[in-house]
Amino acid sequence: MVGGYKRLAVRTQYWRPGEDYLKQIAKSIEKEVMDGDFVAVSEKAISTALGDVVDEGAVRPSWTARFLAKYWMRWVWGYILGRLCHLREKTIQHLRAYPMEEGAAHKQVALEHAGLLQALMMGSEGGIDGSNLPYSYVSLPLKNAQQTAQRIREHISSVLGKKVVVMIVDTDKTYSFRTFHFTPRPKPIKGIRSFGGFLAYAIGRLFKIKRRATPIAVAGSEIPVEEALKIAEIVNRAQGFGAGRTIWDTAETFRVFVTSVTWEMLDRVKHKAIVIVRAH
């Protein structure tokens, strides 16, 4: 039990593009879920199932993207911002060896889908994420997270007859200074300010402001922002990191290059795309 809530991380198979995630959610929770529960689902798992992914191997980087990969990531993040933002030493070393071609393609995707301020991030630019994905694929953030959450809630009600609150959660952080909550991540729930891209990230990390996972959508109940953030962080801790926290960690798990991870490798890992949270 954590903070007045019980949590149950539900192990699921790896959701590939085209997966019927509504069916998988209902099937996974049917023996455990109760009326009034929060059913939290990973945004990336849903995005992947919906096929909202980009193959960066087919992307042609611009001059700006190449500059970001070669200089901004390797030197500014690797030697200045990484230290100021208290990044792990392991992450800093990875940044200093940021891959030129693959990194430039990733930055091009960030520029096209999220804009410059997001592309200046050291990772998860605009909610774009490559960890726990194979080859050169990255997932994009959900376009209509609130509608997706409502669809999941209605499906659970229809198939299982349970009245639940559905929350979609992203591991990207929201920073909280007293009652002011902000995140570099676009489109969080109402009450969390989204602005600044890497500036918001740098401020939050530099000053060690309280950080928690970000709730992207809540369907079935209107709950205070602070409560939503509390539940989102409970969910984040229960889910773990699958094959790895970052794209580099994922590659190291399988002892391959960052673009050599396969679908079959990811199938072998314990994935917890769903967490049931219950008030105690």
Domain boundaries, the chain: 5-52+141-279, 54-125
Going by the DSSP 8-state scheme, the letter that residue 6 receives in this structure is: E
pLDDT per position as a tens digit, 235-266 = 999 998 888 888 888 989 999 998 999 999 99
Q: Is residue 272 classed as helix, strand or coil in its secondary structure? A: strand
pTM recorded for the entire structure: 0.94
Going by the DSSP 8-state scheme, the letter that residue 269 receives in this structure is: S
Place of tokens 């109402």: 190
pLDDT per position as a tens digit, 90-103 = 999 999 999 999 99
Report the run of H or E that residue 218 belongs to, with start and end.
strand 210-219
Q: Is residue 40 classed as helix, strand or coil in its secondary structure? A: strand
pLDDT per position as a tens digit, 170-192 = 999 999 999 999 999 999 999 99
Asked if pLDDT for residue 130 goes beyond 80, the answer is yes
pLDDT (0 to 100) of residue 156: 98
Dist. CA 129–CA 93, nearest whole Å: 20
Using only the alpha carbons of the chain, give its radius of gyration.
18
Q: Which two tokens stand for residue 124?
A: 């998860």
What residues contact residue 175 under an 8 Å CB cut-off, 6+ apart?
A: 181, 182, 183, 200, 203, 204, 209, 210, 211
Say if residues 33 and 39 touch (Cβ distance below 8 Å). yes
Share of the chain above pLDDT 70, in %: 99
pLDDT per position as a tens digit, 184-213 = 999 999 999 999 999 999 999 999 999 999
pLDDT (0 to 100) of residue 241: 83
φ, ψ of residue 60 in degrees (nearest 5): -100, 115
Dist. CA 255–CA 99, nearest whole Å: 17
Residue 1's pLDDT band (boundaries 50, 70, 90)?
Answer: low
Top-level CATH class of 5-52+141-279?
A: alpha beta
